Amino acid sequence: NARRVLSKTQILDHVWAYDFGGDANVVETYISYLRKKVDHTEPRLIHTVRGVGYVLRMPTS
């Protein structure tokens, strides 16, 4: 879903089951883990869209 903003709710629904009873902050936690693995150098791939969700921006070449 490059260049498409996904809300936390969309991520929860597609990654975890719709009846997931945990805290929505689990998305923020796993985004943090992903950033540590893939965003350790420039350009950053995972961006937060404040008040909306997250977007994956592929580097231009």
Q: What is the CATH number of the domain that holds 25?
A: 1.10.10.10
- Structural domain contains residue 16: yes
Task: Kindly report the number of other CB atoms within 10 A of residue 39's CB atom.
Answer: 15
Res 18: pLDDT: 62
Q: What is the pLDDT of residue 54?
A: 95
Q: In angstroms, how far is CA 26 from the centroid of its own chain?
A: 11
Q: Is residue 29 part of a domain?
A: yes
| Cis bond before residue 43 (omega within 30° of 0) | yes
Inside any domain, residue 3: no
**Could you please report the per-residue DSSP string of 25-60?**
HHHHHHHHHHHHHH-SSSSP-EEEETTTEEEE-PPP
pLDDT per residue, tens digit, the chain (61 aa), is 778 999 988 888 888 766 666 676 888 999 999 999 988 888 899 999 999 999 998 877 6
Range of the domain at 47: 8-56
* Cβ pair 53, 5 in contact under 8 A: yes
The reply to whether 2 falls in a domain is no
How many domains would you assign to the chain? 1
